[in-house]
Amino acid sequence: MSNKPTFDLITIFPEYMAPLNLSLIGKAQEKGLVEIAVHDLRQHATNVHHSVDDTPYGGGAGMVMMPEPWGKAIDQVAAQRPGTIHDLIILTPAGRRFNQSIAQEMSSYEHMIFACGRYEGIDIRVTEHYQNTPGFRVHELSIGDYVLNGGEVATLAIMESIIRLIPGVLGNPESIVEESHSITTADGGVLLEYPSYTKPAEWRGLPVPEVLLSGNHALIEKWRAEQASARTQKVQNHLK
Ligand code: ADE
């Protein structure tokens, strides 16, 4: 068994990461299944004003995060884990689109460093430098085709999807197997989950489908497969 997964988050808003102490992720930390540390980028600012951004070379709107504080912050957290592969995750709308199979892959990583950029992003030389640094793997990731104010919310989303896949984190590990996006279809797409019902058997005039009350497991499985497929089709048509 490898060491427990460790997450070092670097941000100018450490308070943004407070939700990681709640619910399943909070419990996963308490149980020692994962280790999470949050670091303030500003502590690595090199000028008297503690600024971490500057105007873009070539002109244009907005500010760009300077490479110097990032280099210092990343080197420091990497130095705490010698001999480990450091997966440096840089959040940017220009990154590869994150999905369930990337979450699955990342759930086996040992040391992840999340770099939460703000403003117009981080000077690209940070990416280039660590791509060429032994012991590092760099992943530029986006959580969707929209622009956030920074990488913090993206980090929270990605971490939640990774941590729930780590053995021991979820009470019922079987729930992972059946859920949306974890089932691959013949054409390489992902199947969305079938709709769920619980008590009461009728709510505001809406009954639970008869088949789910039948106790016939083969029929229930067939119905669920049809529903999952219809749902997937509907969403795909909507996206076209
Ligand atoms: N930073 C700003 N927008 C983002 C997005 N869509 N995904 C990841 N990081 C971001």
Does ligand 1 have an atom closer than 6 angstroms to the CB of 92? yes
- Report the distance separating Cα 210 and Cα 239, nearest Å: 31
Identify the CA nearest to 69 among candidates 115, 134, 138: 115
pLDDT in tens, 5-63: 999 999 999 999 999 999 999 999 999 999 999 999 999 999 899 999 999 999 999 99
- DSSP letter (8 states) at residue 181: T
Does ligand 1 have an atom closer than 6 angstroms to the CB of 156? no
Does ligand 1 have an atom closer than 6 angstroms to the CB of 89? no
Instruction: Tell me the three state secondary structure of residue 116.
Output: strand
pLDDT of the residue at 205: 98
Percent residues over pLDDT 90 in the chain: 88
Pairing, β 86-97 against β 64-65? unpaired
Does ligand 1 have an atom closer than 6 angstroms to the CB of 91? yes
Whether pTM > 0.75 for this model: the answer is: yes
- Report the distance separating Cα 117 and Cα 77, nearest Å: 17
Ordered DSSP codes for 21-59: GSHHHHHHHHTTS-EEEEEEGGGG--STT---EEPPTT-
- DSSP letter (8 states) at residue 117: -
pLDDT in tens, 178-228: 787 777 776 778 999 999 999 999 999 999 999 999 999 999 999 999 999
- Report the distance separating Cα 100 and Cα 117, nearest Å: 23
- The domains located in the chain, with CATH, are 4-162 (3.40.1280.10), 178-237 (1.10.1270.20)
CA of 115 to the centre of ligand 1 (A): 11
**Cα 133 to the chain's mean position, in Å?**
24
Does ligand 1 have an atom closer than 6 angstroms to the CB of 155? no
Ligand 1 atom closest to the CA of 117, numbered from 1 = 1
Nearest CA to ligand 1 atom 10: 92
Nearest CA to ligand 1 atom 8: 142
| HSE toward the beta carbon, residue 46, CA cutoff 13 A | 11
CA of 29 to the centre of ligand 1 (A): 26
On whether the CB atoms of residues 126 and 66 are closer than 8 A, the answer is no
Does ligand 1 have an atom closer than 6 angstroms to the CB of 145? no
Nearest CA to ligand 1 atom 4: 93
pLDDT at 1 over 50: no
Which residues have CB under 8 Å from 203's CB, separation 6+?
Answer: none
pLDDT in tens, 137-180: 999 999 999 999 999 999 999 999 999 999 999 988 887 877 87
Strand locations in 12-160 (E): 35-40, 53-54, 64-65, 86-97, 111-116, 136-142
Which residue among 10, 16, 89, 92 has the greatest number of ligand 1 atoms within 8 angstroms of its CB, and so is best to mutate?
92
CA of 64 to the centre of ligand 1 (A): 15
pLDDT of the residue at 89: 98
- Report the distance separating Cα 199 and Cα 212, nearest Å: 12
